[in-house]
Amino acid sequence: MQFSPLSNTLRLRSWSCSASQVSSSVWSAFAGNFDDGSSHLTSTDDQELLLAYQTPSPSIREWDCKRVQKWLEESGLSHYISLLDWLDGPLLWELAWHRIRACDVFFLNLEYSLNMSQQDQVLLFNALSRLTSVE
């Protein structure tokens, strides 16, 4: 994914990766939220299944820019609204898919293109994963 503020375009690169290639810092951030001692994401297969079942709802494609901005606000990412004011439903849907298809590249590009902190990356990751249940 590359963001160019001059052209207001988002270019998604189509690299694929297995869940085992997901940034370890992101997985550890998720694991850090669980203090019950149970096992989490114990194998690559478990991780791949988790990602495969987090596909975005097709209804996301119907959102306009205003609805995406509202979603950013609801997700605790309102400080990115001005940077992503061009992001509409079809592009958000592609971004949600890109999170699944190209995990490492997804996180590297968030940091590079938007200077997104690790905490905000986890917030966005969680928010994108919740797009599965949107109707």
Amino acid letter, 128: L
pTM of this structure: 0.62
In the chain, where the domains are located? 48-135
pLDDT tens across 73-82, in order?
999 999 999 9
pLDDT tens across 98-119, in order?
888 887 888 888 899 899 999 9
pLDDT in tens, the chain (135 residues): 444 443 444 444 433 443 334 444 444 444 444 444 444 555 676 766 666 567 889 999 999 999 999 999 999 999 999 999 999 999 999 999 888 888 788 888 889 989 999 999 999 999 998 998 887
